Structure 1
Amino acid sequence: MVRPTTKPSLMADADSNYQKLNQLIDSMTEKELSIVFDFSDDDRKKEAHWGRDKNLRDVLVHLYEWHQLVLNWVVANMKGEDRSFLPAPYNWKTYGVMNVAFFEKHQNTSLDQSKEMFEKSHQDVLKLADTFTNEELFTKGTYKWVGGSTLGSYFASATASHYDWAMKKIKAHIKNCKGIKN
């Protein structure tokens, strides 16, 4: 997937992948929803997230929490509060530990709740992104607190790119389920 470089492409990609993700979720059978995600037999799936997320809820709350990171970071910095994207004590070397904390935080969240949270946070992220101009989103150096990247790249990472990640994981799970006998 090519990263968006304009506001219209950011908004379109986020919406398109959101729709595709929801269509994929809606297509899942009861069997696919009830079987635990297990990728341990696939040597190509070594990244920590393949072992972390055990079901659709875990994937959706992960997306929700990354939406919250963007929302909280942008809103705070726009108010003049100096805030890092990743909350303390995490950094880009330890964000995997943060993702596990998100996973643990939501073990009592229901699938229905996770769907509602994800839907609302997706809308909130797009609403916030829409308040910025194309230049504010995609010109480096516009906001000192963004660092050497662009603000739009953070919105893209939390939406379209992350939804692509989620779809790959869900599709792999569905494929695994097809090989499981009732």
Structure 2
Amino acid sequence: MAKPTSKEDLLKEIDTERKKLEDFLAAIPADTMTHKKVVGEWTTKDVISHLIAWEQMVILWVKSGYEGKVFPVPAEGFKWSELPALNDKIFRDHKDEPLDVVVMQKFHDSHRQIVDLLKSLPEKDLFTPGLQKWQNKNMLIAYFKSSTSSHYLWARKEISRGLKG
């Protein structure tokens, strides 16, 4: 995937990758989603919970930044160099949530929330490096891409590989 050069480009990319992921997930039986390990200890349901958690973190960072609040990034008690530990915490925090109501409903709600937030932001803000203190010198668009379209593609590939293995 190329680097998006506009908000509209990213929204199209998000829509394309999300549709591919949802179509792919629709073909997986529920018991396979909750019992077959596809990425280390993670089942498909756990991968979905991981996607939700990262979308929600980006939403929190962006909203907090616009409200002038300082929030620990990537998460309380974690540095960027500790992402494997953070991802493990996300897994442990959500592994017992039921697939149908909790995880799948959150999956759809979270997607709608992050897309709505992206749509609400001025395009210039998305491409301004370090607009908010927590971003360092990165652009907001990079955080949106990594937690949506790039993450959806990663999930689809990893789950597919895990189901075959």
TM over 0.5: yes
C-alpha displacement at 1:98, in angstroms? 1.0
Q: 1:165 aligns with which of 132, 141, 154?
A: 154
Q: Gapped runs of 5+ residues in structure 1? A: 39-49, 177-182
Q: Please give the root-mean-square deviation of Cα atoms over the aligned residues, in Å.
A: 1.7
Q: 1:94 aligns with which of 82, 85, 88?
A: 82
| 1:24 equivalent in structure 2 | 24
| Aligned residues with identical type, % of pairs | 29
Flag the 1:37–1:144 CA change in 2: closer, same or farther, 3 A: same
Say if 2:58 and 2:144, in contact at 8 Å, map to a contact too.
yes
| 1:43 equivalent in structure 2 | none
Say if 1:65 and 1:102, in contact at 8 Å, map to a contact too.
yes
Distance 1:152 1:93 in 2: 21
Aligned ranges for residues 116-135 of structure 1 at < 5 Å?
116-135=105-124
Flag the 1:35–1:130 CA change in 2: closer, same or farther, 3 A: same
Flag the 1:73–1:30 CA change in 2: closer, same or farther, 3 A: closer
Say if 2:128 and 2:139, in contact at 8 Å, map to a contact too.
yes
Flag the 1:35–1:57 CA change in 2: closer, same or farther, 3 A: closer
Are 2:18 and 1:7 equivalent residues in the alignment? no
Say if 2:34 and 2:45, in contact at 8 Å, map to a contact too.
no
Q: 2:134 aligns with which of 118, 137, 145?
A: 145
Flag the 1:108–1:137 CA change in 2: closer, same or farther, 3 A: same
C-alpha displacement at 1:82, in angstroms? 1.7
Say if 1:13 and 1:160, in contact at 8 Å, map to a contact too.
yes
Distance 1:131 1:34 in 2: 35
Distance 1:168 1:96 in 2: 19
**CA radius of gyration, larger in:** 1
- The two structures have a TM-score, normalised by structure 2, of 0.91
C-alpha displacement at 1:158, in angstroms? 0.5
Say if 1:129 and 1:155, in contact at 8 Å, map to a contact too.
yes
Aligned ranges for residues 33-112 of structure 1 at < 5 Å?
33=33, 35-37=35-37, 50-53=39-42, 55-112=43-100
Instruction: Report how many residues are paired.
Output: 164
Flag the 1:144–1:104 CA change in 2: closer, same or farther, 3 A: closer
C-alpha displacement at 1:51, in angstroms? 1.4
Distance 2:144 2:21 in 1: 17
Which digits, 9 at most, give the CA deviation of each residue in 1:12-54, with x for residues without a partner? 111111111000001124674365225xxxxxxxxxxx3131x
Flag the 1:145–1:101 CA change in 2: closer, same or farther, 3 A: closer
The amino acid that maps onto 1:171 is S
Say if 1:62 and 1:102, in contact at 8 Å, map to a contact too.
yes
Q: Gapped runs of 5+ residues in structure 2? A: none
